[in-house]
Amino acid sequence: MEASQDSIADMARPLPKDMSHHFSDVTKARAPSKMKEFYKFFQIPGIGQLAGGLPNPKLFPFDTLEAQTATPDRWTPSPNRPGADDVLSSQMAATSISKQGATASHVVVPHDAPTSDLMKKIDLATALQYGQADGYPPLLSFVRQFARDVLHPNVPYEGGPEVIFTVGSTDGMSKCLEVFTNIWVEGKNDIRERPGFLTEIYMYSNVLTQAQPRGAQVVPIEIDDGGMLAYGPGSLEDVLANWDYSKGKRPHFMYTVTMGHNPTGSMLTLERRKDIYSICSKYDVIIVEDDPYWYLQYPSAEIEEAKARNLPIPEPKEANTLEKKSGFPFIDSLEPSFLSIDIDGRVVRLDTFSKTVAPGCRMGWVTSSPGICERILRVSETGTQQPSGFAQVVIAETIMGPQAEAAAAFASRSGKDKATFNGWKMDGWVRWLAGLRGQYERRMNRMCQILEDNSYQLKQSTPVRESDADWGVITKTKLYDFQWPRGGMFLWVHMRFETHPLWKAAGSKGNVINGTALSTALMIFLTHKPNLVLVSPGLMFSATPQIRDERGWAYYRLCFAAETEENIDACSLRFGEGVQKFWRIKNVKELEAILDEMNTFQAEEVSDLVNLGAWMGC
């Protein structure tokens, strides 16, 4: 039998490199779970089950699970390649388009599905039972195909990547730290053994909370509007080439959010991605790519930003220039993952259902080389095992479609309760993702336009000379600036506190009113009526105390995702107007009174407070 063209091409690719030298001591010592290995015998047809400690599924207190779910086309997509004269693109800043009133679908998960094919068997008897640690077989099979064939068809090593489920990206990151880093304790372990943790100078702070108790040294890398810098002062190459071994081991672990970076909203291009990958290959660094916002890439941002600022409209750029395509125009329009250029097999990608379904489902997955996925599986077997069976089976039924038994049971219901539903399938899932991007992109454009209109403060003064009495003097003070987010859920605002009237003023206690004081005061001031908005200060996202003290105070992160559709415009306007009012404070004691509130502030005492910070979310 002749080999297929795909198999011949696959054999021509190199095998992923062995990364076991990066594994922690505990990871190297892990062995497969004997109990989990035993489960393969449970699948023998007709086998008498006297071995496993499994409860009888007939005694589960659920006969079915049912839910009303959206149809894939509920939300209207935005253009993949908007032009300067694109009608929809021009209306994005002021329009919300959706099919929210459209008929929902009805999902029914039966107790028992008649099929014996575990890849298609979606029922409560299997989903709620003890199962394999890598994930519920039907959904794992779907996600694996989605990852390999749709998201990352260009992975350059033989055999392609494997997929394993996690309990969300936070769990995935925790397992990556477990697999790749040893615990280091100051005063107990040799400084030469201290692990390093490469990341952007601003980052999602919960990851720091995970890494620091393990003794990992955070090593910040400089960024610009396009993300992490590959070359230049403070860049990845600069830090690794000039590593000071008195501080510990040269870092071999990098954490990065490359698409819609949290908190800055930047997007790493394929060209820079190749540069960074080349450096990581040169210095043998594992890349953990956390991309919860990958589908939220906003091609209109650059165009709308130029229009708002009367700048030349940039020419459209093709983000994905790689050879293989998925066949879905939306997916093929997006910047590709590090996996697409991972010739060594050193990339570990974290995905999640948190931003595409709901955070509470606590489901995500890791995509990486088989050797790395196998080690993560060993961690899962004796820890979290797999995500909740309830969440997995409902998502599986929604995306993959009902089984015959569930369809028959639903057919007997009244017409009032029915809704036609054949499952989203792969094209429906991609259509859902495209619609989500459209909703968030329109929100982003509207918030940015409102903030543009309030970014300057204009003041009129009276001329000194009588001869100039017919003239008015207008001064224009910059309050803040920002880049329109190229992706994600956040707007990273650079506050120009150096233009505030009290910048570097003498405080009443011999102190100086510095950036941290102004940043904290403004954050509190914005919670007062009539402003009533809450923002996340950049201090929270600074990778190190030094960065926090030197420049983290100059930024706020605003989230345009969390608020209701009705409130997004109003709270954006209240933020802008609140900043305008704050710049009119000229009395030090008034500012200090605001700062004193920090010690007594109780959020529950403030009603109607709008959260633009989304502090607790990713």
Residue 76 clears pLDDT 80, i.e. is over it: yes
Which range among 133-147, 184-198, 399-413 shows the weakest confidence by mean pLDDT?
Answer: 399-413
Task: Quote the pLDDT of residue 136.
Answer: 82
C-alpha closest to that of 220 among 190, 251, 177: 251
Cα 435 to chain centroid distance, Å, stands at: 17
Tokens of 79: 């253009």
Task: Quote the pLDDT of residue 163.
Answer: 95
Which range among 102-111, 268-277, 608-617 shows the weakest confidence by mean pLDDT?
Answer: 608-617
Which is more confident, 322 or 93? 322
CA distance 170 to 207: 8
Percent of the chain scoring above 70 in pLDDT: 84
Side chain identity at residue 88, one-letter code: L
Q: Decide: 165 and 363 in contact? Cβ < 8 Å.
A: yes
Q: Decide: 372 and 345 in contact? Cβ < 8 Å.
A: yes
- In this predicted model, what pLDDT tens digit does every residue of 389-409 receive, in sequence order? 888 888 888 888 754 544 554
Task: Quote the pLDDT of residue 35.
Answer: 66
What's the DSSP call for residue 164?
E
Residues 6+ apart with CB under 8 A from 587: none
Task: Quote the pLDDT of residue 552.
Answer: 96
Task: Quote the pLDDT of residue 305.
Answer: 96
Which range among 271-275, 360-364, 552-556 shows the weakest confidence by mean pLDDT?
Answer: 360-364
What's the DSSP call for residue 406?
H
* pTM of the predicted model as reported, rounded to 2 decimal places: 0.88
Cα 500 to chain centroid distance, Å, stands at: 34
Supply the DSSP string of 277-315, one letter for each residue. HHHHHHTT-EEEEE-TTTT-B-TTHHHHHHHHTTPPPPP
ω into 233 cis (within 30 of 0)? no
Which range among 114-123, 481-490, 514-523 shows the weakest confidence by mean pLDDT?
Answer: 114-123
Task: Quote the pLDDT of residue 559.
Answer: 95
Which range among 45-49, 107-111, 144-148, 293-297 shows the weakest confidence by mean pLDDT?
Answer: 45-49
Task: Quote the pLDDT of residue 450.
Answer: 95
Beta strand pairing call for 490-495 and 480-482: antiparallel
Which range among 270-284, 352-366, 518-532, 548-562 shows the weakest confidence by mean pLDDT?
Answer: 352-366
The 10 Å CB-count burial string (b at 16+, else e) for 298-333 is: bbbbbbbbebbeeeeeeeeeebbeeeeebebebbbb
Residue 580 clears pLDDT 60, i.e. is over it: yes
Which range among 14-18, 45-49, 524-528 shows the weakest confidence by mean pLDDT?
Answer: 45-49
Residue 24 clears pLDDT 80, i.e. is over it: yes
CA 44 to each of CA 2, 47, 55, 75, 124: distance values in angstroms, whole numbers, following the listed order: 33, 6, 18, 44, 20
Residues 6+ apart with CB under 8 A from 201: 220, 221, 222, 223, 542, 543, 547
- In this predicted model, what pLDDT tens digit does every residue of 291-316 receive, in sequence order? 999 999 999 999 999 999 999 999 88
Q: pLDDT-derived band of residue 98, with 50, 70 and 90 as boundaries?
A: low
| 108, HSE (Cβ side, Cα atoms, 13 Å) | 23
Q: What is the mean pLDDT of the chain?
A: 86
- In this predicted model, what pLDDT tens digit does every residue of 188-224 receive, in sequence order? 999 999 999 999 999 998 999 999 999 999 999 999 9
C-alpha closest to that of 527 among 453, 586, 604: 604
CA distance 501 to 456: 14
Q: pLDDT-derived band of residue 491, with 50, 70 and 90 as boundaries?
A: very high
Supply the DSSP string of 552-605, one letter for each residue. GGGEEEEESSSS-TTTHHHHHHHHHHHHHHHTT---HHHHHHHHHGGGT--GGG
CA distance 19 to 512: 51
Residue 245 clears pLDDT 60, i.e. is over it: yes
Q: Decide: 202 and 542 in contact? Cβ < 8 Å.
A: yes
In three state form, how does the secondary structure of 427-463 look? HHHHHHHHHHHHHHHHHHHHHHHHHHHCCEEEEEECC
CA distance 421 to 613: 37
Q: pLDDT-derived band of residue 468, with 50, 70 and 90 as boundaries?
A: low
C-alpha closest to that of 233 among 215, 249, 221, 251: 221
Side chain identity at residue 316, one-letter code: P
Residue 592 clears pLDDT 90, i.e. is over it: yes
Residue 480 clears pLDDT 50, i.e. is over it: yes
